Amino acid sequence: MKKLFLGLIVLIILVGIYVMFFTNMLDKPNYTKTDGEIYLNGEIYKDNKLFIEKNSEIYIDSQWIIDNDLADLSWDEKNKVITFFDGRNIYRFSNEDKIMKNEKLVEIDLNVFFNINDNIMINIKFLELKTNYMYEFQKELNRLIIINLEKYKNIKVSNRTLQVKKDLSYFSESVDLLKKGELYFQLNNDNWANIITSRGEKGYINNSMFFDKMLGALMDIENIVVPIGIENIRTSKLEDQYKKNEFYKQINMTWNHFISKTPNSNKLKSYKGIDVISPTWFSLKNDLSIRDIGTMDYMDWANTNNYDVWILFSNGFDPERTSLLVNDSIKRSNVIKDVIGKTLKYKAKGINIDFENVYYRDKDMLTQFIKELYANAKNNGLILSMDVTFKSKSENWSMCYDRKSLSKYLDYIIIMAYDEYWAGRGEAGPVSSIPWVKKNLLRILEEVPNNQVILGIPFYTRVWEENYKTNKITSKAYSMESAEKFIEKYSIEIKYDNKMKLNFGEVESKDKLYKIWLEDMDSLNKRIDIAKNAKLAGVASWRKGLEKKEVWELLNRKLDKKE
């Protein structure tokens, strides 16, 4: 009797095990048509308003694309314009059913988008052509499947039907079956592979042939009807971004500062070894047109001296005017067309963006403007560079630059490594101490590749005046030569400031104390070494005309320029 009782207990336990495990293990997937769902990398979004079928083509909500970062889209609410960057070109879709490609009206052999109450819906065929995502509409299930092809490797089922388990166990329920010849998308190559099926289901498959075949026989899975899966995939056709920094070895760049007009070329001095010269020709006006003070005479002079010209484009240091530009897609388009057109008119090699004093709130839209300008510049064979400051807590002068993001859309980032102690700081100090440059350059290189960075170097210094009577500290900028004359005039003894790593002098005169940290051949030599040791793209000097003649000889020698 006792044995019979024990036998019954064992039988009950076995039945329980069968019910608990094998019923799950042999459970067949449930394929039911939905009201409309999106499966993004296996995650389900249940909202039938996110996509729509029109004329046998599927369109998806552009705002949802933006929210899930599936494409580089920007929405202009004011003008009802979508801007799309595919890594090479800028497209704009407006509520007027117009398509702009790189600021020109185009016709595309595809219904790219349509509007529903000012909500732009984009054709998934266009997105698939222009991004690294696969889009597939499963009509039988009313599902839109979206897979990141950079993250998931597509594999074709070779010779047997595979069970897809919800968890890492054979006893887990089956969420899908994969038939021979069908594609699936695999995240890893472990024994239990993390995959997404062509119906969007997320789960695991086991690479053990024996156990899978045994369970497959129990379920007779070969005869289970499965909705049609994907057997072929349209590979991503996202165009590669332009290769950067194949233009120069070590750049010796300088700025030519002109305020109201460009002088005749017979008044311009030329020096050997300069690769790039940047005249300050373009500036943004209050009406967002571009002020242009360039001349072909200057271009002829530059070409005669084998200088490449990158025309500087300034925002006039006006944050309000800059905000009006970057936050309006139509204004951005007009300014981009204008600046590209003017640059091509002069047959210059590039554009140097000098946008300073920008509202911190416009940080992302400043990057958007640079992105759009970059696409247009590269499609016209132009180099694009931008001047940025070192990192600081100043919102309008430093925090407004998303340096890491900007570097994606620029050939070069020029670091304005000066004005450590600026005119209005109220404290005497050097224009740019050597430790300050080294320390802050390291922070830049955490976000920007070194071969994309050009180090800005000052050709000027400041003479600081501390007035004992008024207790005020003021300063005035001096060129290298005028600084030497000042030292000579007051017979200032020059000593080495070991903290700042610069030559320094001070003198009292009547009720005033004068201090000067020199920008000279010694400081220049150190700055070039910093750029070379960090393997930067080169140096850029502010500005031509403030230097001594010997400067160019030193730059040529240190940067290995041929005479």
Q: What is the mean pLDDT of residues 256-263?
A: 97
Peptide bond into 92 cis (omega under 30): no
Cα–Cα dist 253/255, whole Å: 7
User: Using an 8 Å Cβ cutoff, are 149 and 236 in contact?
Assistant: yes
**Which has the higher per-residue pLDDT, 115 or 331?**
331
pLDDT attached to residue 560? 85
Per the document, the length of the chain is 563
Tens of pLDDT, residues 63-84: 999 999 999 999 999 998 999 9
Burial label for 325, CB within 10 Å (0-12, 13-18, 19+), is: buried
Q: What is the pTM of this model?
A: 0.89
Cα–Cα dist 329/80, whole Å: 9
pLDDT attached to residue 189? 79
pLDDT attached to residue 238? 47
User: Using an 8 Å Cβ cutoff, are 94 and 80 in contact?
Assistant: yes
Tens of pLDDT, residues 379-409: 999 999 999 999 999 999 999 999 999 999 9
Model confidence at 96: pLDDT above 50:
yes
At position 443, the amino acid (one-letter code) is R
| % of the chain surpassing 70 pLDDT | 87
**Which has the higher per-residue pLDDT, 20 or 465?**
465
Domain ranges across the chain? 28-237, 257-412, 417-433+451-563
Tens of pLDDT, residues 111-122: 898 888 878 899
What is the dotted CATH code of the domain comprising 417-433+451-563? 3.10.50.10
Flag the least confident range among 152-166, 291-305, 445-459, 490-504. 152-166
Task: Name the band, by pLDDT with cuts 50, 70 and 90, for residue 364.
Answer: very high
Q: What is the mean pLDDT of residues 374-380?
A: 97
Model confidence at 242: pLDDT above 70:
no
pLDDT attached to residue 220? 52
Model confidence at 548: pLDDT above 90:
yes
Task: Name the band, by pLDDT with cuts 50, 70 and 90, for residue 265.
Answer: very high
| Average of per-residue pLDDT values in the chain | 89
E strand residue ranges, 335-409: 350-354, 383-388
Cα–Cα dist 514/512, whole Å: 7
468 vs 125, 273, 424, 474, 509, CA distance in Å?
74, 46, 18, 12, 11
pLDDT attached to residue 93? 87
Q: Where are the alpha helices (DSSP H) in 189-274?
A: 209-219
What's the CATH superfamily of 257-412?
A: Glycosidases (3.20.20.80)
DSSP string, 501-515: TEEEEEEEETTEEEE
Q: Which residues pair with 291 in a beta bridge?
A: 283
Flag the least confident range among 25-39, 449-463, 541-555. 25-39
Q: Which residues pair with 60 in a beta bridge?
A: 51, 122
> What is the bridge-based pairing of β-strands 472-479 and 99-101?
unpaired
Residue 80: CB atoms within 10 Å: 16
Cα–Cα dist 462/424, whole Å: 12
191 vs 186, 195, 206, 394, CA distance in Å?
12, 12, 6, 52
Q: What is the mean pLDDT of residues 317-328?
A: 98
User: Using an 8 Å Cβ cutoff, are 100 and 333 in contact?
Assistant: yes
Task: Name the band, by pLDDT with cuts 50, 70 and 90, for residue 2.
Answer: low
Nearest to 464 by CA among 420, 499, 434: 420
Model confidence at 232: pLDDT above 90:
no
> What is the bridge-based pairing of β-strands 251-256 and 276-279?
parallel
- φ/ψ (deg, to 5) at 334: -65, -45
SS (H, E, C) 119-154: EEEEEHHHHHHHCCEEEEEECCCCEEEEEECCCCEE
Burial label for 191, CB within 10 Å (0-12, 13-18, 19+), is: exposed
Long-range contacts, stretch 393-396, CB < 8 angstroms, 24+ apart: 395/359, 395/360, 396/319, 396/357, 396/358, 396/359, 396/360
Tens of pLDDT, residues 172-226: 888 998 888 888 899 887 888 899 998 999 999 887 644 555 555 545 545 545 5
Tens of pLDDT, residues 407-434: 999 999 999 999 999 988 889 999 999 9
Tens of pLDDT, residues 17-37: 544 444 454 556 778 888 999
